[in-house]
Amino acid sequence: MRKIIYVLTLVISMGFLTAQEADFPDAPIRDLKGNQVNIKAESMEGKTIVLAFWATWCGPCMLELNAINDKIDDWASETDFQFYAISLDDSKTVGRVQPMVNGKGWDFDILLDTNNDLKRLLNFSTPPFTVIVKEGKIMYKHIGYQPGAEDNLFEKIKEVNN
Amino acid sequence: MLLLLTASGLSYGQIEIGGGTFSGGIESTSQWYQSDDDLGIEQPKNPFRSNNYIRLDYNYGKFSAGIQYEAYLPNALEGYSPRFNDNKIATYYVNYKGEDLDITAGNFYEQFGSGLILRSWEDRQIGINNSIRGLRVAYTPNDYTTIKGLIGKQRLGFETTQGTVGGLDVETNLIRLFNKENFSSTLTAGFSYVGQNEDYTGPVEDFPQNYNNFSARLGYSGSSGIYAGAEYVHKGERPIISGEQASDNFYDGNAVLLNLGYSTRGFGISTTFRRMENMGIYGERSMSDPALNSYNEAIVNYLPALTKQHDYLLTNMYVYQAQPNIDANTHEVGEIGGQIDVFYNIKKGTTLGGKYGTKLAVNASYWNGLNAEFNDDMTYTTNFFDFGRKFFHDVNFEINKKWNDNFSSIITYMHQYYDKAIVEGGNYSHIIANVVVGDFLYKFNSNNSVRFELQHLQTKRDKKNWAAALVEYNLNQKWNFYIADNYNYGNDNKDERYHYYMIGGSYAKESTRLSLNYGRQRGGLICVGGVCRYVPENTGFTLSLVKTF
């Protein structure tokens, strides 16, 4: 019983932790053609990077990416950032990623985290999960999606860029 | 205690220690199980159970280290392996990452090719963690070539497997290898070797203690939008284990996986063919006995069912699982089949497209056994291209339409064939089911919205017809409340026309999410990414917390 209390206290006290500006992990990831992309290195060059983790089987992710796709042109005309939609599909469903992205008419750059290595380094459990990275630091993280959350994300991107 | 101290140190918001940085995450799910007279469920002796995962990583320049502490208090949730029975550090690692060298000692995760020969990964929702504890070295001489070597034992509960696994994988882009400037197309080639060793002390002479598995693969992705892939795996011969007895014969195995796809803006198509014969590979001999491994433990390779991963309550009633193994009772030796996906976006401004466009998706999959002829001595013969007993099909389509700035809908139809006897074992006839789902979203403004689902499943077998509904309200970008019900209104036995109701809510802010649910969970397979876990029917409260920092 004592151990249960220890662990639950630990879990709850950690629930209140806030850590700002942790380093983004230095882990290269591949695009749809198999070319390596290093998000951290790219963010060090001064550009704000926005990541949306998703999967073909994740309903809220579809809502989120459809909503972002409708607005991303307007966003890009207001402020400067690079957007990546990172698929967490493993080999069961990764074959659906490329046709789905094109078939839905999404204009994003897609990266593949097929064995969830980057997901593990960022320590989140399920998509949707969005991250803003600048100069190698994590500036913002968000779990889950509710309709309209894309507007908050855009506000955060502008905040980070100012 | 050490963890507590570390955590209290962290609580002051200072995460830089000794020049390095800490990061981590927690995930905690607790359930309070209740009695349910209707469903005939008695409250378990330990009605409170919880799964807790705490991960801490420390990074200092090129070095990093981490632990994962797991606590199943006082027991793991129902449906998880009884091997998750403790609370302590379950995985740990130290890593060095240089310019072209990446070395890990401790627990690591790895995948060769598509995972058909080797994959270690973690999925907490279905209780899988087959990380390998040992040594992994990856060498990247240039940005298109990787050479990986590993050796270790797989995690099994809080222990490791009896067997040792070692592997080597080489992958390169042939186009870049011969033409340094060409980035528009890629042609990757890969080769893997996975060796296994496990001591044997039993009476059988010449019992194999070492197994060798090989695979080769090619992948092409062109600038014209065409892509293709092929992978072949050979599994070294070994006895099959059934009823704790090893067979007298040794059987090898093989798998072929082919992909072909094309996509351009507004249209995409993908086709897959796969044939597997005796392809299950396990890190411990005894775990290859299906009767002793109902929790998918100690798996070396990843053999997902290549079918669409549905995400509605009733479309997940009959879920296929791949059938890769030899079954001495049913005389099945594997599976053969394929899947096709088509996506199409009807343009904005056309009659069908309307103001915002209309998105269509069609998916079909078809899986059969292999026709095998067994001889009296339990050897068998089978042809490469020979479709045997039908296991499963699923034909489904989805229309996703945004009507105006506030309202959008997704209509899904699915037609399924499910051989329950093959997938779940036992004596059942096959099931044919038709499912229709309407999913509607209405946004009041940019912070508040309501979503509702209406679903119906029709079948003449099993528990017959079901209806389901869900309403969910999203408030202020932080709160979510939902109520849902699955109603088995078509059950022949009027007393078993149960409602599986659920009510719950959640609060999410940045990287923290807390949720609470109460209700009845319909027992069955919970599948994530193609691996399934059987969850017993239950009634009660569930509280979960996830947080990253």
Confidence of residue A5 (pLDDT cuts 50, 70, 90): low
For B222, the closest chain A residue by CA position comes to A33
Confidence of residue B542 (pLDDT cuts 50, 70, 90): very high
* Range scoring the smallest mean pLDDT among A12-16, B2-6, B27-31: B2-6
Contacts 24+ apart (CB under 8 A), B284-287: B284/B154, B284/B156, B284/B161, B284/B162, B284/B163, B284/B198, B285/B162, B285/B163, B285/B198, B285/B200, B285/B241, B285/B246, B286/B162, B286/B241, B286/B244, B287/B156, B287/B161
Residue range A93-117, pLDDT digits in tens: 999 999 999 999 898 899 999 999 9
Higher pLDDT, B177 or B13: B177
Task: Write down the pLDDT at residue B7.
Answer: 43
Residue range B200-234, pLDDT digits in tens: 988 888 889 999 999 999 999 988 899 999 999 99
Task: Write down the pLDDT at residue B245.
Answer: 85
Average pLDDT over residues B229-254: 93
Q: Percent of chain B having pLDDT more than 70?
A: 95
A3 Cβ under 8 Å from any chain B Cβ? yes
- Cross-chain residue pair B261–A20, CB shorter than 8 Å: no
B239 Cβ under 8 Å from any chain A Cβ? no
Indicate which of B139, B341, B396, B511 best probes the interface with A, i.e. most A CBs within 10 Å of its own CB.
Answer: B511
Alpha carbon of B340 to those of A96, B201, B336: distances in Å? 9, 47, 14
Provide the shortest C-alpha distance from residue B374 to chain A (in Å): 31
Residue range A31-73, pLDDT digits in tens: 988 888 999 999 999 899 999 999 998 888 999 999 999 999 9
Burial class (CB in 10 A: 0-12, 13-18, 19+), A81: buried
Higher pLDDT, A125 or A131: A131
Task: Write down the pLDDT at residue B360.
Answer: 96
Query: B456 has which bridge partners?
Result: B436, B467
Q: Which distant-in-sequence residues (6+ apart) come within 8 Å of A2 by Cβ?
A: none
Q: Are B20 and B49 in contact (CB under 8 A)?
A: no
Task: Write down the pLDDT at residue B549.
Answer: 83
Q: Is the pLDDT of residue A86 over 80?
A: yes
In this prediction the ipTM stands at 0.90
Indicate which of B62, B128, B146, B477 best probes the interface with A, i.e. most A CBs within 10 Å of its own CB.
Answer: B477
d(CA A62, CA A40): 26
- Cross-chain residue pair B549–A120, CB shorter than 8 Å: no
Provide the shortest C-alpha distance from residue B378 to chain A (in Å): 32
Confidence of residue B533 (pLDDT cuts 50, 70, 90): low
Which among B456, B358, B465, B467 is positioned nearest to B413, based on CA atoms? B456
Helix (H, G, I), strand (E, B) or coil at A77: helix
Tokens 């968000």 appear where? A142
A101 contacts in chain B (CB < 8 Å): 263, 268
Helix (H, G, I), strand (E, B) or coil at A74: helix
Q: Are B538 and B41 in contact (CB under 8 A)?
A: yes
In B46-65, the residues whose Cβ lies within 8 Å of chain A are 50, 52, 54-55, 57, 59
Confidence of residue B2 (pLDDT cuts 50, 70, 90): very low
- Cross-chain residue pair B343–A103, CB shorter than 8 Å: yes
Provide the shortest C-alpha distance from residue B221 to chain A (in Å): 6
Q: Enter the pTM of the model.
A: 0.92
Q: Is the pLDDT of residue B528 over 80?
A: no
B227 Cβ under 8 Å from any chain A Cβ? yes
B58 contacts in chain A (CB < 8 Å): none
* Range scoring the smallest mean pLDDT among B119-123, B140-144, B257-261, B272-276: B140-144
- HSE-up of residue B213 (Cα within 13 Å, Cβ side): 30
